[in-house]
Amino acid sequence: QDWVIKPQLRTVPGIVEVNTIGGYEKQFHVLPDPTKLMAYRLTFRDVMQALATHNANVGAGYIERNGEQYLVRTPGQVNTLPEIRDIVIGTRGGVPIRISDVAEVKEGTDLRTGAATLDGRETVIGTTMLLIGENSRTAAQRVGAKLDEIARSLPDGVVAKVIYDRTKLVEATVWTVEKNLLEGALLVVVVLFLILGNFRAAFVTACVIPLSMLFTITGMVENHISANLMSLGAIDFGIIVDGAVIVVENCLRLLAEEQHKRGRLLTRNERFETILAGASEVIKPSLFGTVIIGVVYLPILTLTGVEGKMFHPMA
């Protein structure tokens, strides 16, 4: 996990970190014997200093040759238990004192603070963390493709598979939002037709829905608000068409009254003048009503913590 899978997953675009849960972290434990240290007149600090001194890579600059630079370095990190046991702490009477003379060296594990299980069996779980501002669906698809590539290179007995794929949640959320928006829009059109009794008036009123969605999506893009159940689910078609219904219904009433008073069909200019007068009568009350409903959401913007993260997109 730490040496093969994690480094490769961190190279996936849109992924900032991979958190690991479960499993054991391999370590080399050096357990000094206080009695032997006293016999050789050594201290724990001497052991620590010897381990640090003999476990480091040293750079020696570079060599220029034929217009090229060759880096020179001395790899001095220990890799096995015998190498640790052979580290020299000091000398006594010309005889080197090694780690194996004063301490026990063995493989061990780090102190565990948690564990992970899958189907009742212990396992290692890696969680990829999304970079702020990235598309979660696209990033999850990249991680899945990369994990399939990594799984083919793992040794026998080691299996890497996806436990939780956020892509499914995102697709289900998008489908739910699309379904709710489509059903809501169709229902509004049907109700408007039944109430107004005029197909053209209902259609004109329903045109407010895509226009409002256009402004909404534009504002979400500019303010970097993601499209999810909370943000898109907060769109109320009743509020959107409320003002339009009031204006259209008043215009229809004035058109009918004006036509009845004149006893003939209205000309084009007369219809425009009547529609303008009808819209002017109710535009202010309808705007104030919509603003009052919108003001209700302002207190939600003052929420902080988890509540703020959850409900800010809705407001």
- pTM equals 0.52
Mean pLDDT score across all residues of the chain: 81
Residue-level pLDDT at 236: 66
* Residue found by looking up tokens 């096995």 in the block: 80
Q: Which of 59-63, 67-71, 78-82, 128-132 has the lowest mean pLDDT?
A: 59-63
Tell me the β-bridge partners of 58: 74
Q: Are 210 and 298 in contact (CB under 8 A)?
A: no
Mean pLDDT of all residues in 61-81: 80
Mean pLDDT of all residues in 135-149: 83
Domain boundaries, the chain: 1-25+117-164, 28-109, 167-311
Q: Are 224 and 191 in contact (CB under 8 A)?
A: no
**For 194-208, how does the pLDDT look when each residue is reduced to its tens digit (9 = 90+)?**
776 777 777 777 777
CATH class as words, domain 28-109: alpha beta
| Alpha carbon separation from 288 to 139, 215, 285 (Å, rounded) | 43, 19, 5
Return the half-sphere exposure (C-beta side, CA atoms, 13 A cut-off) of residue 123.
14
CATH T-level fold of 167-311:
Multidrug efflux transporter AcrB transmembrane fold (1.20.1640)
CATH T-level fold of 1-25+117-164:
Alpha-Beta Plaits (3.30.70)
Q: Do domains 1-25+117-164 and 28-109 have the same CATH topology?
A: no
Contacts with 116 (C-beta within 8 Å, 6 or more apart), sequence order = 21, 22, 23, 122, 123, 124, 125
Dihedral sign (CA 44, 45, 46, 47)? positive
226 or 130: which leads in pLDDT: 130
H or E stretch at 97:
strand 95-98
Residue-level pLDDT at 121: 83
Whether 227 shows a pLDDT value over 80: the answer reads no
